[in-house]
C-alpha cells in the first residue's frame, strides 16, 4: 500500500515495497493519518558524512488531501520528532520545477544549498535544500 502511495506521488521514482521495508528497519518511516486513513508519508535516514543530520528520502501528501495545510502540519510533526533524537537538521532534494514542495520547504526555513544537474539521471535536475534546526 505504501509503495502505491509513493508511486502516486513520485511516479517511476517512487519507492518499492522492499525499499520501504529497509527504510522502516534502518531509517525511519513516518505516516500522516486522519481518521485511521493514511494521507501522507515520509522516509528519513541519518547521514553517514554528517551523522546529526537526517536525509529526506521522500515526503508526500496524497493528492486528494493536498492544499489543506496537512503538508505543513506533517512536516512540523516530523521536525519536532527528529529534534528529540539528537538531530541537528534535515537535508533533502527537490525537483527543480516543484513549486509546491519548494514553497513548503522555504516556509519552514530550508535554504537552497546547490543545484544538482541530472542528480536522478538524464533530465532529472534536483535542488539540494537544508534546514538547521538549532537556527530556527
**Binding region for ligand COA (CB under 6 A):** 9, 59-61, 66-72, 92, 94, 98-101, 103-104, 107
| Nearest partner of 87 among 79, 97, 95, 98, judged by Cα | 79
What are the residues facing 128 on neighbouring strands? 93, 114
Question: Minimum CB separation from ligand COA for residue 9, in Å?
Answer: 4
Taking the least distance from each CB to ligand COA, the nearer of 61 and 131 is: 61
Question: Minimum CB separation from ligand COA for residue 58, in Å?
Answer: 6
Q: In the block, which residue shows the cell 539528537?
A: 86
Taking the least distance from each CB to ligand COA, the nearer of 16 and 86 is: 16
Q: How far is CA 120 from CA 6, 36, 82, 126, in A?
A: 16, 34, 26, 7
Taking the least distance from each CB to ligand COA, the nearer of 107 and 115 is: 107
Amino acid at each position: 500500500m505504501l509503495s502505491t502511495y509513493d508511486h502516486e506521488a513520485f511516479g517511476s521514482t517512487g519507492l518499492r515495497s522492499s525499499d520501504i521495508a529497509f527504510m522502516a528497519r534502518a531509517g525511519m518511516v513516518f505516516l500522516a493519518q486522519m481518521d485511521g486513513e493514511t494521507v501522507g508519508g515520509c522516509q528519513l535516514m541519518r547521514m553517514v558524512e554528517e551523522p546529526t543530520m537526517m536525509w529526506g528520502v521522500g515526503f508526500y501528501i496524497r493528492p486528494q488531501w493536498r492544499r489543506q495545510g496537512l503538508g505543513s502540519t506533517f512536516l512540523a510533526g516530523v521536525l519536532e520528532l527528529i529534534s528529540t533524537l539528537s538531530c541537528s537538521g534535515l537535508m533533502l532534494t527537490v525537483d527543480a520545477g516543484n513549486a509546491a514542495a519548494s514553497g513548503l520547504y522555504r516556509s519552514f526555513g530550508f535554504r537552497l544549498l546547490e543545484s544538482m544537474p541530472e542528480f536522478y539521471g538524464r533530465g532529472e535536475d534536483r535542488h539540494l535544500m537544508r534546514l538547521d534546526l538549532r537556527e530556527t
